[in-house]
Structure 1
Amino acid sequence: MTRALGWVVVIALLSCLIIPGFIAFRVWYVARIDDRTPADAIVVLGAAQYNGIPTPVFQARLEHAATLFDEGVAPQIITVGGSQPGDLYTEAGSGRSYLTQLGVPPEAILAVETGTNTVGSLEAVAQTVRDQGGESVVLVSDPTHSYRSRMMAHDVGLDAWTSPTRHGPAVWTRENQIMSIIRETGAVLWYQYQRLAGSNVDFPD
């Protein structure tokens, strides 16, 4: 192996370590940000629901969104997410029902019942917000999902910041948080690859 080839191999190996390491740091760093700057809408990113009942992960997001609404962060909450094959309810519709149970006025909740992943959901949200004459949103999701969702929101033309939930299964244990950072690092790398390839296929949520 020549000296030049050896340096190429070393640089390639360092890149394989440095790039994922940097992304993992960004995932961890943005997960710690709780930005409650006033916006046009609070957007709750969808999660699983069963027969119209949000899972504990989804409930934690919705409860946090209700708190932000009560604080006056935005005049409306947008729930997003379609349905899986065989489902009778959508994630967005289930989220809307749960928010009304929490006391959020129905007229302040808009369910965008399209999208089966973060990319599709945020594209639909961006169009909805623009149709209303707005452009800014506060994204509510799990902490480690904040970096990727904010990146995607910016890519579809939204002014977006994040206020992740601080309770629920996603943050119960340190092990959960570490595994989430690892998973999200892979998801961000996949998203960046798809973006360079001109595709909008998202990492499975």
Structure 2
Amino acid sequence: MGAGRLVGRVIGAAVAAVLLMTGATALAIWWTARQDSRPGSDAIVVLGSAQYNGVPSSIFEARLEHALELYEEGVAPVIVTVGGKATGDQFSEAEAGREYLADAGVPDDALLAVQEGADTLESMRAVGTQFDDRGWDTAVLVTDPWHAMRAERMAEDAGMDARSSPTRQGPAVQTRTTQFRYILRETAAYLLYRVTGESVAGAPGIG
């Protein structure tokens, strides 16, 4: 076999392996998005998204409403809202989420705002620290369906025993085109994290 043919086969095998891994990751993201785990846990953790002067965006509101449903079902005694503050903002995502849930009737002692994190990885590490400080272990994560697998992985890497209960409402699940786009973006973000250990900034639920 000539050297050229050998190199060609090696390159072909490498391309096939990358395509296989990418396809398997996309399928796993799709599968995880369809699950809904609601085990009794120490806390419900709501991943932040955009807020406007303290008012949650439609994506964030869908997550908060789902977390409220889980809390009322008795899944956990505490809801943790997560997310930092963008330059120029008066409110952090965590603050906006906390106030939304307080207005919905959740008691103050059942709410914890973790106002750190410009992306999912930073937020999960900050939440992991709070869990350690309080002796908590288990969490149910609330985010968009396509974001659930990466959020679970990052939470587990931050020391939490995490499951996810994704939202079924909001812009991220409105159309098949939107769903397909989010799955593609999440596949790239998840693979990047697994390879580099870093997150990536992007659209709501992607960073």
TM-score, normalization by structure 2: 0.94
Match of 1:72 in 2: 74
Is 1:138 the counterpart of 2:143? The answer is no
Output the CA distance in 2 between the equivalents of 1:105 and 1:130. 23
- TM-superposed deviation, 1:53: 0.3
Match of 2:55 in 1: 53
Match of 1:99 in 2: 101
Q: Secondary structure of the residue that 1:36 maps to in structure 2?
A: coil
Alignment of structure 1 residues 1-205 onto 2, 5 Å: 2-195=4-197, 201-204=198-201, 205=207
Output the CA distance in 1 between the equivalents of 2:146 and 2:21. 17
- TM-superposed deviation, 1:36: 0.3
Output the CA distance in 2 between the equivalents of 1:162 and 1:142. 10
Paired positions, count: 200
Output the CA distance in 1 between the equivalents of 2:120 and 2:67. 17
Structure 2: gaps of 5 or more residues? 202-206
The answer (yes or no) to whether the contact 1:44–1:141 under 8 Å persists in 2 is yes
Structure 1: gaps of 5 or more residues? 196-200
Q: Percent of counterpart pairs with the same letter?
A: 48
Answer with 27-36 or 10-19: which moved more: 10-19
Output the CA distance in 2 between the equivalents of 1:129 and 1:72. 19
Answer with 169-178 or 47-56: which moved more: 169-178
The answer (yes or no) to whether the contact 1:43–1:79 under 8 Å persists in 2 is yes
Answer with 185-194 or 33-42: which moved more: 185-194
Q: What whole-Å deviation, never above 9, does each CA across 1:21-72 have from its counterpart, x for those lacking one?
A: 1110111010011000010000000000010000000000000000000000
- TM-superposed deviation, 1:12: 1.2
The answer (yes or no) to whether the contact 1:41–1:75 under 8 Å persists in 2 is yes
Q: Secondary structure of the residue that 1:79 maps to in structure 2?
A: strand
The answer (yes or no) to whether the contact 1:63–1:102 under 8 Å persists in 2 is no
Tell me the C-alpha RMSD between the 2 structures.
Answer: 1.0
One-letter amino acid matched to 2:44: I
- TM-superposed deviation, 1:102: 1.8
- TM-superposed deviation, 1:95: 0.1
